[in-house]
Amino acid sequence: MLLSTVIVTGCAGFIGSHLSEQLLATGHKVIGIDNFDPFYKRDVKERNLSSFKDHPHFRFIEVDLADGEALRKSLEQETVDVIVHLAGKAGVRPSIEDPNGYIRANIVATQNILDLMKDKGIKKLAFASSSSVYGNTKETPFHEKQDVSNPISPYAFTKKACELINYTYHSLYELDIINLRFFTVFGPRQRPDLAIHKFTRLILNGEEIPMFGDGSTSRDYTYYEDTVAGIRGAISYLENNTHVYETINLGNNQPVTLSAMISAIEKATGIKANIKQLPMQPGDVDITFANIGKAQELLGYNPKYSFEEGVKNFVDWYRSVNPS
C-alpha cells in the first residue's frame, strides 16, 4: 500500500535527491521537480537522479517553478498530499552578483508553489529556509524566536521573504506550513561550489585552498542524513496535525571553525593543505549555531553524525565518483 504522495522540488539536487530516494524506499509516491539550473553541471544532477529515476512510484517533471502556468499544467492530473519545496538558487556570494535571479528563483517560485496549493487544495508544505536569515546576530545559539529582519545578503532576504509569504498564505488559506532553517548541510552529492566539496577537490589535486579570513569563522555543519531525517519528521508532523505554522532549525548544534574543517579534510584525505589566506568576503557571517530544541520536541530530531565521520564519508564518496 502506497503512503502519501509527495512533491519534492529540487529533486535532482543534493538534499532533494537523498530525500526522494528515502521517501521512495519507505513506500511513498514521489513527484520530483527540477529545472536543472546551470548553477552547476546538469550531468551532476543526472547522476543524483540515477538511482531512483526509473522507480515505478517516481515521476519526474522538468519545469521552471518561476513559470507558474507551466507548473500548473504539469501537475493538472496529479493528486498531492505534501509538498517539500527545496528548489531555489543557493549561495550567498553569487546572490550579491545576481539579486534579481534570486528573487525570481526563490520568491517568485515560492509564490507559484503557494498559488498551486491554493488552487489544487494541497494543504501541507515543508519549505527549505536557511540559517542565513539570522545574519550576523550576536546571540548564539540561534533560536527561532530571534529577530531576523537584518539579512546581509540577497540570498538571505529571499529566504526570509519566503517565510513571510508562507505565513500570509497560511493565514489566508489555512495552509499547514513548516519553514525548516537548514544549517550548512554536507555529505555525498554536496554541491560542487560548497567549501567541503571545493576544498576536497583542491587538496586532492594539489592546488591552493582559498581561506577567507583567519580561519576562526564557524559553521554548524549538518550531515545530510540528519537533515533528511528532520525533513521526514516535518512531513510526518504535517500529516498528523492541522492549523500548523512553524519555523524550525535543522542544525547540528556544534559549530566547527574553518580551520578545524580544513584539518578534518586533511585527515580524511591524508594530504596537507596548501592554504592561501584572503580577506573576509561580503555577505559572509561570522558564525552559524543552531538551537535545535524545537526540532527535537516537535519532530523527534536527533542528529547522529559527527562532523569528522561526515567528512570521511564525503571524501570516500568523492574519490568513488572521481577516480584518479
Query: Among residues 158, 87, 155, which one has the least CA distance to residue 116?
Result: 87
318 is catalytic: no
Would you state the cell numbers that stand for residue 72, as one nine-digit string?
500548473
Tell me the angle at which helices 154-173 and 109-120 cross, rounded to the nearest 10 degrees: 10
Query: Among residues 252, 266, 235, which one has the least CA distance to residue 302?
Result: 252
Distances (CA, A) of 115 to 32, 66, 120, 168, 180: 18, 12, 8, 12, 20
Catalytic residue among 102, 134, 155, 169: 155
- CB of 249 within 8 A of CB of 291? yes
Amino acid symbol at 35 = N
Known catalytic residues? 155
